[in-house]
Chains A and B, each alone.
Chain A
């Protein structure tokens, strides 16, 4: 009976399941393929297992250590007891007797004595304790002795950077809304195709580059223990770079671009302004480091100098015309757009972390050698992988393969860097809840690992198959340029500006900035990753193209919401920046007058 039944069931099921299989084979295959979820699941599985094992092992080891310590202490104690002399025992017993006879008088917790603070320990006294929403964070350390000229230079670089951040992301936010309302305007200067490069270039060359230069000026002066070689040169470069972004923006909006290649949209006369600024700043940095008062070159300066040298070469190769017709241009484009991110923003920012992270933790970097290893592997691996933006394209297959293989090699510098930063932070994680700078660093470092690793995964042929050309790319670029670069730059700015100017932003606003940016980025990323994957799958299935546009609408809406949070956080950041650099001191610590102090006496 049961056998008969089961055969029936089998017969019923098998043709159906066969049919279902042949119909969904595409999508199911891709989901199950090692490229997409498989690898990620496996890796995360291994990670989880590894972490579990590590925790258990660590736990066992610590317990063992503690037990041994206890045993030793007990032995020592009993030895001490047996070796006691008679006189010592008498003394102990006498003391004990006195203790037992002690009686409370009833005035221990309060008295008629006048309260006084003879050592000046009390900073602020209030008889109206306010109830803050969040715990108060640690204040910045005492102001640093910095030459006024340097202070000025840094503040202007950072100020211009903040302007371009707000401008660039306002444009980005507007573009994101155009995905939902394509008829937002019909003005040629604001059309999507012209405005998109305005957004990317403004945040690249305006925000990130200027902020990096400004923060770098402090690093070289500090780690070389010397004056900046020529302040004037810093100002020339400042003007040139700002001019480049300004003119570039106007050119792009009026329809003058270099040919539409990403991040090379500025025509060469405009980019030449930027390049000139870069060269001037490089020479200024180089000479400053050459004048250092210590024999070793601190590892931060390796990264800063490397980034600048490489970017000069990069811009030159990207703009020289001799090999850029036909697909020559495409080869260069893959190389240029990847190295623009990798050799310029990533390398320079790493250099900044190597100074600002240990400086704000007040401890040395975990391993100098790991930093050096990451430097050279960064150069070796990053340079080779540009063509992974053109997998399955008509570019030579060997070039694509090299790019994919070296993308996997990127794990080495990424793991070396992440390990170094996390090990530096190790033992100081409890400070995260007490500092408004460290959360930015932690998010930046975690994104450095996650974003870079995810990028390497994306280069594999399998994953490229589904994700390339979709919005997933946009998610990845925000994960890296925003999650890594921008968060680290914020961390550095919040770490250094209060110590230069002696003024701190309100902690509540810094917290709001952090959480809005973080949640916004997360919403942005997840919606485009999910939408991009579904889009790719719909293409694999061969559905009409417009279906993928209709399907994406809801994901574009959540992207726009995430983008709005990000943009609002930038406004808060700009306001915080203003509070940190403004001349009038309105945000000094709330010092109570001596009158208040007397009045509050009764409460103390």
Chain B
């Protein structure tokens, strides 16, 4: 009919039309729909100017090569957010940047580093982010992330009002101080702003995969003792970024847990309250966020026990029940 074996024009036109029709169906139409049928969630706020600058730096430095921003609808991604990501989550962040550059490709395709969907919840401390950005190995020795020294200034005599990072001499030239530039502060502001907005109504659910976790909690072993989740794993993924794997902390930034009087106190109330509510009473250390929303009673008990029985610490273990009591007390107190 078309005689495409001998008619080059028909061949090219047919290939063009076929591809165009398929592309309309599989790319342009769903893209249009996705763009135009998405509204932001009621609790979401437009990005501030500082955060927007931070996002542009995030793109400029190619952070998306290693960090995703999508919580997939499968169980293992629960680590990265409390619910699977939905199109509305990207309403403000994925807008065309300027005439030269399109909407930032935030979802990513590889997790050489952790997902950042709710890094603002997981790691709210500005001090930590700045140190991590200056040289990731200050806070995470095994990290393979590049360091970003060009976002910081080296100064011998910083001004009074300038923010000085507490970097040990191992990571900087002796006699100088490390001052974050506006770029570093904006990028960190953007990272701190990354949180999942709460979803009212029905939550999209994770596709379950592991029965292990559900079995692990709420069961007891033969002695009738609570079987708590793995405290070491929880500590490693929740606490070690600041307090370090061996509980040593970082001088001038994060207090040591090894030999700490709070951790070793026979009465666990103070320790559990700090984990629940956070802590900002000591000026020489960075602020600690509260983890009441992120961790269950059993998980807090497991973490506390890990801390109380390791690195030379020796305090009696606590139970899930004790944590529950302290949590209820704290809730009553704040109401």
Contact = CB atoms under 8 A, between A and B. Distances in A.
Contacts of A471: 110, 112
Contacts of A396: 30, 33-34
Interface string A381-399: 0011011011111111001
Contact of A380 (B22, B85, B147): B22
Contacts of B64: 193, 260
A19 B18 CA distance: 57
B22 A383 contact: yes
Interface stretch (B97-105, B284-292, B308-316): B97-105
Interface string A272-310: 000000000000001001100001110001100110011
Contacts of A331: 27, 30-31, 34
B95 to A, nearest CB: 5
Interface stretch (A134-142, A237-245, A515-523, A537-545): A537-545
Interface string B6-21: 1011011001101110
B68 interface: yes
Interface stretch (A20-28, A94-102, A486-494, A568-576): A20-28
B140 A546 contact: yes
B44 interface: no
B296 interface: no
A549 B60 CA distance: 24
Interface string B124-144: 000000000000110010111
Nearest to B40: A326
A25 B16 CA distance: 50
A540 B76 contact: yes
Interface in B55-103: 59-66, 68, 70, 72-74, 76-77, 79, 84-87, 89-91, 94-97, 100-103
A392 B101 contact: no
Highest count of chain A CB atoms <10 Å: which of B95, B112, B236 = B112
A259 B79 contact: no
Interface string B26-37: 111011111100
B15 A473 contact: no
A12 interface: no
B233 interface: yes
Contacts of A227: none
Interface stretch (A125-133, A317-325, A349-357, A428-436): A317-325
B206 to A, nearest CB: 10
A543 B18 CA distance: 47
A572 B94 CA distance: 45
Interface stretch (A36-44, A204-212, A262-270, A451-459): A262-270
Given A257-B62, A325-B95, A269 B76 contact: no
A84 interface: no
A25 B105 CA distance: 36
Contacts of B60: 255-257
B107 A330 contact: yes
A507 interface: no
Given A260-B59, A379-B19, A25 B210 contact: yes
B23 interface: yes
A13 B152 CA distance: 61
Interface residues of A, number: 95
Interface stretch (B211-219, B246-254, B256-264, B321-329): B211-219
B32 A297 contact: no
Given A329-B105, A544-B233, A182 B5 contact: no
A124 interface: no
Nearest to A195: B62
Contacts, number: 273
Interface residues of B, number: 88
Contacts of A193: 61-66, 146
A322 B150 CA distance: 36
Interface in A322-356: 322-333, 335-336, 343
A419 interface: no
Contacts of A549: 112, 142-144
A178 B143 CA distance: 12
Given A25-B210, A326-B103, A313 B16 contact: yes
B15 A259 contact: no
B94 A325 contact: yes
Interface string A470-487: 110110000000000000
B227 to A, nearest CB: 12
A325 B212 contact: no
B236 A547 contact: yes
B225 to A, nearest CB: 16
Given A26-B212, A305-B8, A473 B73 contact: no
B289 to A, nearest CB: 18
Given A260-B64, A324-B102, A396-B30, A379 B15 contact: yes
A393 B142 contact: no
B209 to A, nearest CB: 7
Nearest to A307: B15
A387 B26 CA distance: 9
Nearest to A394: B85
A313 B11 CA distance: 16
B176 interface: no
A305 B15 contact: yes
A220 to B, nearest CB: 11
Nearest to B68: A469
Given A192-B146, A193-B63, A257-B62, A327 B94 contact: yes
A269 B102 CA distance: 12
A367 interface: no
A535 to B, nearest CB: 9
Contact of B94 (A319, A329, A391, A547): A329
B87 A394 contact: yes
Contact of A465 (B95, B105, B108, B209): B209
Nearest to B236: A544
Count chain A CB atoms within 10 A of each CB in B73, B100, B106, B207 and give the residue with the most: B100
Contacts of B168: none
A503 to B, nearest CB: 35
List the 8 closest pairs (A to B, CB-CB), nearest first: A193-B62, A261-B105, A328-B35, A392-B72, A544-B236, A328-B31, A260-B64, A335-B27
5 contacts: A191-B62, A193-B65, A384-B22, A469-B108, A547-B236
Given A182-B145, A197-B62, 16 more contacts: A25-B210, A182-B137, A186-B149, A188-B150, A193-B65, A325-B95, A327-B38, A331-B27, A331-B31, A333-B105, A394-B84, A394-B90, A473-B109, A540-B210, A542-B79, A547-B236
